[in-house]
Amino acid sequence: MNWPALIVFILLFTLVTVVGFVAARWRRGDLNHINEWGLAGRRFGTVVTWFLLGGDLYTAYTFIAVPALVFGAGAIGFFALPYTLMVYPFVYVVFPRLWSVSHKHGYVTASDFVRGRYGSGLLALVVAITGILATMPYIALQLVGIQVVIAAMGFTGSGLVGDLPLIIAFVILAAFTYTSGLRAPALIAIVKDLLIYIVIIAAVIIIPMQLGGYAHIFSSIPADKLLLKAPSGGNLGTYSAYATLALGSALALFLYPHCVNGVLSASSRKVIKRNMSLLPAYSLVLALIALLGYMAVAAGVQHDPAYAGWFKQYGPNFAVPALFLHSFPAWFAGVGFAAIAIGALVPAAIMSIASSNLFTRNIYKEYLKPNATPAQEARIAKLMSLIVKLGALAFILFLPGKYAIQLQLLGGVWIIQTLPAVVIGLYTRWLHRWALVLGCLAGMLLGTGMVASQHFTSSIYPLQVGGLTVPGYAALYSLPVNIGIAVILTVILRAFKTPEGMDHTTPADYEYDTE
């Protein structure tokens, strides 16, 4: 047991637990209303939204998986950098429109908007279920991040004893989410970001000094991991994989329910635009985080017998914890582990809130109790947030971790299929509601089939175009099929004069602002 690291970890974890419960009194509102519990009354300004979205997007799995991909596969792991740079201009242009129409009509979820825009409960249900399915394994992977750092501190054992720290972390997460709603992760995100900045700044200064400088680090990396492999023999290889991963991920990211939740909690559309102008600063931090993968290779942590058992259990995901243990004093390694664990709590809380909002608004109220009062909605949302987290915990405790990773690969493939209904719907409702449903389902089936053909080990599908092989992100390859089917069926359904449903929005609603 690494007692200095564990003590520091517990102290910082206790701090954020207190912050999570205190958040219920911060910017006080009636938490028996879903608008207050799930969206914090839509009152977050530029600074709080900055930390909330940063905590939402840069999760514990980001800090574990991005350097792990660089550590194991090399340069392709840096696809996360252009992806984050592309996503912010996209959101800057598109999502203020979603904020405006949602604020004007009281929409809490993207499915609420779809229901109002197309007059289709079924289309809203498809979008809601897709969002919940895509988010569940995402929450589970946050718990994997906590599990890895707990193991790094020497907390071992089997059965209940081995899982006890993770269960305690889950109980804490469930308690402050239930009590404080979105206010808790928003406030904790400030602490989380400060810790992350401290740890990363220390890492990019101290570790290279120990390893002989960046020149020595890069000279230690095998040539095939420093650059993308050049196309050869009619195969575009990592070039097309890198490009499609970046573009597809950028299009999919803000369709996830937790990202929509963060956007809708802002106080105005101008707050969203300001944040999309400022958030690219996080991409610099992400680049430094990715470099930790190369530092771990240069430090030779994979060859250290002290970490052999952990690498066998967690694979490349143990690269960053091993690097921290190898390079930092035990107490500062505890700071790093706390930053990663707290980086799991923030997005996990927002994800569970967003999923529970979808269930409450678009399944419970739509189909089970249409006359539910605001207090009943809030109560069901709170209970569902517990159930969602319990499901994620059960996933980690009782199923091999590879299943969570496989489902997360599918998450991006599934969630991008809601783009026509949500993003295109923000500009036109020309596409027919039934065509959108069938297009979405077709895209999900095709994308799932592509990932299944790779035995669920990768979301990169080798598309054959004539004599050329173009490996690419299955999400991006299945999306045009989705849109194509939606367009063709719209023409057919219009020809048969199939009812299109009522649009409850007006053009002015998409430009509405509170400032």
- What's residue 405's pLDDT? 66
State the total domains in the chain.
2
User: Are 18 and 68 within one domain?
Assistant: yes
User: Are 391 and 471 within one domain?
Assistant: no
- What's residue 214's pLDDT? 95
> Would you list the DSSP string of 466-495?
TTEEEEEEHHHHHHHHHHHHHHHHHHHHHH
In a domain, 467, yes or no: yes
User: Are 487 and 367 within one domain?
Assistant: no
In a domain, 47, yes or no: yes
CB–CB of 304/138 below 8 Å?
A: no
- What's residue 353's pLDDT? 95
d(CA 137, CA 132): 9
Scanning the structure block, which residue is given the tokens 């269960």? 167
- What's residue 438's pLDDT? 98
In a domain, 332, yes or no: yes
pLDDT tens profile 148-169: 888 888 876 666 666 788 888 8
User: Are 358 and 300 within one domain?
Assistant: yes
Q: Residue 466, Cβ neighbours under 10 Å: how many?
A: 7
User: Are 369 and 434 within one domain?
Assistant: no
In a domain, 506, yes or no: no
pLDDT tens profile 377-404: 999 999 999 999 888 888 777 776 666 6
Instruction: Say if strands 468-473 and 460-465 run parallel, antiparallel, or are unpaired.
Output: antiparallel
In a domain, 511, yes or no: no
In a domain, 418, yes or no: no
In a domain, 461, yes or no: yes
User: Are 243 and 183 within one domain?
Assistant: yes
User: Are 201 and 73 within one domain?
Assistant: yes
Q: Which residues contact 76 (CB under 8 A, 6 or more apart)?
A: 69, 228, 238, 241, 242, 245
Q: Give phi and psi for 460, each to the nearest 5.
A: -90, 120
Range of the domain at 305: 3-400
- What's residue 161's pLDDT? 62
User: Are 442 and 481 within one domain?
Assistant: yes
Sign of the CA dihedral with 173 first, then 176, 178, and 184 last: negative
- What's residue 99's pLDDT? 97
pLDDT along the chain (515 residues), means of 10: 91 92 85 93 93 84 86 90 90 97 96 97 96 89 84 74 78 90 93 91 95 94 89 87 93 95 95 93 88 95 90 89 95 94 89 95 95 93 92 78 71 96 97 98 97 91 92 96 98 95 96 86
User: Are 380 and 466 within one domain?
Assistant: no
Looking at residue 67, which CATH number applies to its domain? 1.20.1730.10
User: Are 145 and 27 within one domain?
Assistant: yes
- What's residue 408's pLDDT? 77
Q: Which residues contact 99 (CB under 8 A, 6 or more apart)?
A: 263, 264, 266, 268, 269, 272
From residue 197, alpha-carbon distances to 168, 202, 286, 321, 448 in Å are 26, 8, 11, 17, 37
Scanning the structure block, which residue is given the tokens 């809380």? 349
User: Are 377 and 438 within one domain?
Assistant: no
On the CB side of 214, CA atoms within 13 Å amount to 6
Structure tokens at 340: 């990663």
User: Are 320 and 434 within one domain?
Assistant: no
d(CA 91, CA 113): 17
In a domain, 168, yes or no: yes
- What's residue 299's pLDDT? 95
Q: CA 372: distance to chain centroid?
A: 30
d(CA 122, CA 114): 10
